[in-house]
Amino acid sequence: MGKDDRRKRAAEWLAEAAIVGDVAVSKKYRISPRTLRRWRDKAVSGSDRELTADVQRKKAAVEAGWADKLETAMAGCVDFIDRASREADPQDPDAIHAIAGALKMLQSVRTTGKLLDGRLRSAAGIRPVQQDAGQVAPAGNIRELKRTG
């Protein structure tokens, strides 16, 4: 195996290890954690610029793949919770507890999303436009927003 092939494999290992951890990658590819640390040291120190660039590209690809799956997974979970809440026995305390817990989680995700959305818009210099009677435009309505400054 040539130097370029080893470097590309190491970049894949390091990108994956950033997501799932060194132990999982070591087991999966049958390499030692020390090998990962040596490759990581080369990438971080910049002593191997090609490796550093390869790791950044691979890591971006891995993260993009994960982000793409997130929307589908979340939609599936919401569909499942919706179906379960309609089919659950309203007299079953375990079902009531489970649905209440799911509702609490969904509300938390929604609140966190709104908070992050507001902070990101603020950081980007985007502010809501005032509407009639002093109401603020809904968070998801892009047409009602304008840049500040």
Say what the pLDDT of residue 128 is: 63
Cross-strand pairs, 127: 146
Say what the pLDDT of residue 130 is: 55
Cross-strand pairs, 136: 130
SS3 21: coil
- First-to-last CA distance in the chain? 55
DSSP label at residue 140: T
In Å, how far are 28, 44, 89, 96 from 8, measured between CA atoms?
A: 17, 15, 54, 51
Sorted by sequence, the CB contacts under 8 Å of residue 125 that are 6+ apart come out as 147, 148, 149
Q: pLDDT under 50 in the chain at which residues?
A: 136-137, 139-149
| Distance (Å, whole) CA 104 – CA 127 | 29
Say what the pLDDT of residue 10 is: 92
Say what the pLDDT of residue 18 is: 86
